Structure 1
C-alpha cells in the first residue's frame, strides 16, 4: 500500500538548461532591475505540458491518471476504458484518431519497430499534422497552465510535438515511464497476439526514439513497478526534477490515489525479471533496460548516452536486413489477428445473442407466470361476472314483470282517465245548460220584480185614492169602491206570499 507522500524541502527558484535525473547544469535566471523611468512589465505566465512517454502496456495510463488526481489538467474528451485497460486511457479520443492518420501517412503503425524517416518529419504533410496538433491542444486544454498529454505513439513522434508546443509557447516536461520488456511482450501477446520477440523490438523502438527525441529537455525517468509500489515517492521525484508543483499533492489525496492504483491491475508480473541475466534476451533490449532501470532509481547519466546511441544506430541499420522476414511474419500475424478478431467478434456476438436469448427466456418465463396469474384473475372475474349476470337476469325478469304490471295499471288508469274526462265533459255540458237556465230564470225573476214594483206603485196610488175617498163626505157613495179595494189588497197579499 502506498504511504502518504512526504514533500521534500523546496529548492531555490532556479531554471535549468536541461533537467535530468542525474547531475544537471543549473543556470540562475537573469535578474531584472526595474527602471524607475520605465513602466514595470509582467512576464507572461508559463504553461507546462507534462508529456507522459512510454511503450504501450507500460503503465502510461496509470501515471497520467495519477497526475490528474494530483491536480494536473486532463483532456476534455477522454477515451473510455475497456477490458484491457480498466483504469481508462486518459488520452483524448481525437488525439488517438489524429495519430492513427499521422502514422498511416508515414507508412507506419503503432506496432511498427522500424524508425520513421527524417524526411517525413521535414515534409509539408508533417507541417499539416503539426497544425492539427496545435488546434487539438487548444481544444482539449484551453488555457490550462499545467496539463497532461499522453499517448504511447508520441514516443515516436517527439520532433513534431516539440515544434507544436513551441509554436504555442508551451514548455514541455517529459516523464519517461517504462516496464519490464517481458511483461510488456506478454501483455501484447495476450491482447494483440503479437509474438514475444516482435513485442521486444516494439518496446525497444518506443523507448529509444523517446529518449533520443527528448535528450537535452527537462525530463524524468520512472518505472511502472515503482509507481505501483510508492506513487508518492514517484510524484515527489517528478516534482523535484522537473521543477513542478502538483496542486493536490497532500495526505488528503492518498486514499483517492491508493484506490485508483491497485496492484491487482498488474496482470503480467515478471517477479524479478530475467531480462538482465538471460543471455537469450537480445543485447540491445538487455542493455537499454538496464540503463533505464538505473536512471529511474539513481538518476540519468550522460555517460550512458553513447551506449544508447550505439544501440539505436545498430537497431536502425540492421532493420532493413531482416525487415522483409519480419514483415512477412507481421502479415501472417495480422491475418492471424484478423481471424482471431473475427473469431472474437463472432464469439462476442454469439455471447451477446446467447445473453439476449437468456434474457428472452427469462422474460418469457416471467411472462408465462404473469399470464397464468392474469388468466386466473380473469377466470375469477368471469365467475364474478357470471354470478352478476344471473343476478341481473333475475332483476331483469322482476323489472319485466313490474313493467307488465305497470303497463296494465297504466292502461286501466288511461281508461279511467278517459271515463273521467268524459264525465267531466258531460258535467261541463250540464253545467253550461244549467247556467243558461239559471240565467233565463234570473232574467225572468228580474222581470217579475220589475212588474211587481209597477203593481205596487199602482196599488199604492189606488190606496191613496181610496184613502182620500174614505176621508171624504161622500163615504156612502164610495162604499162600493172600498169593497173593491179590499178585494184587490187581499189578492195582492196572496201573490206576495
Structure 2
C-alpha cells in the first residue's frame, strides 16, 4: 500500500514513540502566529474543526485558533484577575491555585478530547505563553509528546499593529512583547522546540517550513506547501517591515527588548542554536530581570486598568449623552413638524378668512345697492317692467 508523506509522518510517530504528539505555537499577539499555525497543516498536523472564524481587518485569513482552548484560557486569566493585555507575569502562587482547582481536571479533559480525535494535534493561543507553567503540568500528566514552535516578529511591527487594533501605547506593547517572548523561551527550555521569525517566513516560506519540519521531525507534503506559500501567504498580511536599527531609534523601546530580539534573530538565521548553553544562560538572566520588574509591571497594569474603567465610564456617559441628544433632536424635529402643521393650518384659516372677507365685501356691496335711495326710487319702474315683459309662451 502506498502511503503519502502526511500519513507516513503520523504512522511513524505512533510506531516510534507510542505517544500522541501535541504541537504548541507560542508567541506574542500580532506576531504572525496565525500564519505559522496554518502552516502546520502542511506537515500533517490537525488543528481541529472548531476554529475561531476570520475577522475582517484583524485577521482576514483566519486566527487558526481553537475556540474551546481560547475560551478556557480567557477563563483562567479572568479567575486570576488578569487578562491577555496585562504586562505583569502570572505569579507562581496563582499557578499553584489553578493546579489545585477544578481547572486542572478540565484542562486535562479538554486536551484529551482534542488529541484523541487526531494522531497529531496542534494549537496556538498567545495566552498560553502567560499560562505555560500551568499547561506544562497538563501536558506531562497526559503524557503527550509535546513540541513547541516559538514565533518572533520585529517588536516595532507588533507595537504598530497593537496601536492600530487596540490603541495601545508603544511602551505597553513593548512590555507585552517582552513578557510573552521571555515566558515562551524560559517555559519551553525542557521541550523539543524551534524558533521562527515571521518576516523570514513571509520572505522564504518553503525554506522556513522545511526547517521547522526537520527540527521537529515531521515530513512535509510539498504539494500542500506550494499551495500554502502561493495561495495562503499574502504579502498584504505583512503590513510593516522594519530594520533592526529602528529599535535603537525608538525611545519607547526598552534596551532589553532590543537585546533579546537581536539575539533571537541569530537563532532564526541559524547562527546560534536555541539550546546553546550560552543562550540558555542569557534566557535565565532575561527571565530574572523580567521577574524583578514585576512590582513595576503590576503598577502599569493597575494604571491601565484604572484608565480602562475611567474610559468605560466616560464611554457610558458619552453613550447616555448621545441618547439624550438624540431624544432632544427627535423632540425638536417633532416640534418643528408640529409648528409646520400649525403654520399650514393657520395659512389655510387665513385663506378661508380672506375668502369669507371677500364674500362679505361682495354682500356689503349688494346690500349697499339694495338699500340705496336710487334703488328704492326705481323699484316701481322695475316692477312695472317685469309685468309688461311679454311671455315667451304667448302665440
SS at match of 1:122: helix
Distance 1:228 1:317, change over 3 A: same
Q: Deviations over 1:211-252 (max 9, x none)?
A: 111112101011110111112111111122122234xx2146
Q: Deviations over 1:33-79 (max 9, x none)?
A: xxxxxxxxx87633111110000000111011111244211122111
1:264 aligns with 2:236: yes
Q: Is the 8 A contact 2:84 2:127 kept in 1?
A: yes
Structure-1 residue corresponding to 2:367: none
Structure-1 residue corresponding to 2:8: none
Structure-2 residue corresponding to 1:226: 200
Structure-2 residue corresponding to 1:103: 77
1:287 aligns with 2:259: yes
Q: Name structure 2 gaps, 5 residues minimum.
A: 6-12, 323-395
Q: Which runs of 4+ in 1 moved over 6 A?
A: 337-344
> TM-score normalised to the size of structure 2?
0.70
Q: Is the 8 A contact 2:155 2:177 kept in 1?
A: yes
Distance 1:252 1:122, change over 3 A: closer
1:139 Cα deviation after fit: 2.7
Distance 1:342 1:178, change over 3 A: farther
> Which among 262, 269, 289 is matched to residue 314 of structure 1?
289
Q: Name structure 1 gaps, 5 residues minimum.
A: 1-6, 8-14, 16-41, 348-497
Structure-1 residue corresponding to 2:128: 154
Distance 1:196 1:141, change over 3 A: same
Distance 1:306 1:250, change over 3 A: same
SS at match of 1:51: strand
Q: Is the 8 A contact 2:151 2:198 kept in 1?
A: yes
Structure-2 residue corresponding to 1:163: 137
1:340 Cα deviation after fit: 7.2
Q: Is the 8 A contact 2:47 2:121 kept in 1?
A: yes
1:263 Cα deviation after fit: 0.9
- Structure 1 window deviating more from structure 2 (227-236 vs 171-180): it is 227-236
1:62 aligns with 2:35: yes
SS at match of 2:265: helix
For 1:134 and 1:341, the matched residues in 2 are separated by 40
Structure-1 residue corresponding to 2:330: none
Alignment root-mean-square deviation, CA: 2.9
Distance 1:95 1:326, change over 3 A: closer
Aligned pairs, number? 305
Q: Is the 8 A contact 1:276 1:290 kept in 2?
A: no
Structure-1 residue corresponding to 2:97: 123
Higher CA-based Rg: 1
Q: Is the 8 A contact 1:185 1:200 kept in 2?
A: yes
> Which among 167, 176, 194 is matched to residue 193 of structure 1?
167
Residue correspondence of structure 1 range 329-408 to structure 2 within 5 A = 329-333=304-308, 335-336=310-311
Distance 1:177 1:43, change over 3 A: closer
1:80 aligns with 2:50: no
